[in-house]
Structure 1
């Protein structure tokens, strides 16, 4: 399996957090890991017979391990916080743990997006998105809510030299109640602020494992101690960090077909 980061057109960057391609050749012998994911993705998948499928993949609260993934190539568009509702016509929370064909979402925006993503080659589709998406989303989005949820996400994200802020502090900084902040996250991200921060921390452990001792890494990204980090990692990844990084993984299950809405 190979991954590649593709350039994101400048005009799409307020709405698309990143674009990548994933190609699976021969059936891999190693398990394929779906990591916990705090973002929603629109995926254009081309199967081994050239059949193109478009889908939306919602946030994933825990890792899953699979085997037998078939030959395919995918272009993935990671949606920025606050993009799901104006782009697809539904709140992000409705997509948590789901992979749904775009054509099955009973909203006009989703069906319009599906129409040209399936008709055009990925490169053409991206060029077309760059032409039509900014105006489309600018008209559909509530700018003030989008700015609030993005400020909240930024405050709950691990940064170099900065750990996620407590939810109450973030709410006060944004001049909203904690309940309002949870509602903003549910609509714009799909997760609660705490669960978003939890996934973000575990993804940071995955990115920086091996760069320093476990206890130092735990302290640097806001855990109480190494034990707290290990517990969180085991909950989201199914195994503790040492087991994961030495290849002692949970039993892999067969890849499943796309679940219908």
Structure 2
């Protein structure tokens, strides 16, 4: 399996947090890992025989391990916080743990987009999105709610030299109640602020584990101690960090069929 980060057109950056491609050749010997994911993605998948489909993959609360993928390529558009409802017509929380056909979602524009993405090559599709998305999303977005949810996401994320702050502190900083903050996250991200922060920190462990000791990493990203980090990692990844990085993974299961709306 190979992954590549693709450039995001400047005009799409308020709405698309990142674009990547994934390619899987013959059946790999190692399980295919779906990592915990706090973002919703629009995925254009090209199958073994060239069949193309457009899917929406919602936030994933925990990792899963699968076998059976072969000869498929995907272009993944990771939606920025607050983009799901304006683009797809539903709150992000309705997509948690799901993969659905883009054309089956309620927003008329989602159905139009599915048709376009299903017939255009990736480069042509990105050019089309850069042309039509900004105006449509700007008209459908509540700027104040989007600004609040993005400020909350930033505050709950790990940054160099800064660890996530507590939910109550974020709510006070944004001048909203904790309940309002949870509602903003449910609609704009799909997860609670606390679960978003857990996924963000575990993903940081995955990114930086080779660079320093477990204890140093735990302290740097805001865990109480190494034991706290290990517990969080095991909860979301199914195994503790040492097991994961030495290849002792949970049993892989067959890839699931797409769950329809």
- 1:39-72 CA-to-partner distances (Å, cap 9, x unmatched) read 0000000101111110000000000001111211
The Cα shift of 1:226 comes to 0.5
Distance 2:27 2:213 in 1: 35
Alpha-carbon distance in structure 2 between the residues aligned to 1:92 and 1:246:
34
Distance in 2 (alpha carbons) for counterparts of 1:72 and 1:255: 13
How high is the TM-score relative to the length of structure 1?
0.99
Classify the secondary structure of the residue corresponding to 2:111.
helix
Q: Is the 8 A contact 2:171 2:181 kept in 1?
A: yes
Give a deviation string over 1:177-210, Cα, whole Å, max 9, x none: 0000000000000000000000000000000002
1:80-135 CA deviation, whole Å, 9 max, x = no partner? Answer: 00000001011000000000001111221211211211121111110010011000
Matched with 1:97 is: 97
Per the alignment, residue 4 of structure 2 pairs with 4
Length, aligned pairs only: 261
Taking the aligned partners of 1:140 and 1:106, their CA distance within structure 2 comes to 14
Q: CA deviation at 1:258?
A: 1.2
Match of 1:170 in 2: 170
Which residue of the partner structure matches residue 206 of structure 2? Answer: 206
Asked whether the equivalents of residues 54 and 118 of structure 2 are also in contact (C-alpha less than 8 Å), the reply is yes
1:247 and 2:247 aligned: yes
User: 3-state DSSP class of the match of 2:161?
Assistant: coil
Residues 1:49 and 2:43 aligned together: no
Q: Deviations over 1:137-170 (max 9, x none)?
A: 0000001000000000000000000000100010
**Residue 137 of structure 2 aligns with which residue?**
137
Structure 2 unaligned segments of length 5 or more: list them: none
**Structure 2: distance between partners of 1:10 and 1:86:** 19
Deviates more, 1:107-116 or 1:144-153: 107-116
Q: In the alignment, what sits opposite 1:37?
A: 37
Any idea what the Cα deviations from partners look like across 1:10-45, whole Å, max 9, x if unmatched?
000010000011011111111100000000000000
Structure 1 residue runs of 4 or more that deviate by more than 4 Å after TM superposition: none
What TM-score comes out, normalization by structure 2 length?
Answer: 0.99
Give matches, 1:59-70, under 5 Å.
59-70=59-70
Which residue of the partner structure matches residue 182 of structure 2? 182
C-alpha root-mean-square deviation of aligned residues, in Å? 0.7
Deviations 1:184-242, CA, capped at 9 Å, x for gaps: 00000000000000000000000000211111110110101000000000000000000
SS at match of 2:258: coil
Verify the 8 A CA contact 2:24 2:71 in the aligned structure 1. yes
Residue 147 (structure 2) aligns with: 147
Aligned to 1:197: 197
Partner-residue secondary structure (3-state), 2:38: coil
Secondary structure at 1:210's aligned position in 2?
helix
Conserved 8 A contact 2:41-2:76? yes
* Separation of aligned partners in 2, 1:184 and 1:102: 23
Cα distance in structure 1, aligned partners of 2:78 and 2:66: 22
* Structure 1, gaps ≥5 residues long: none
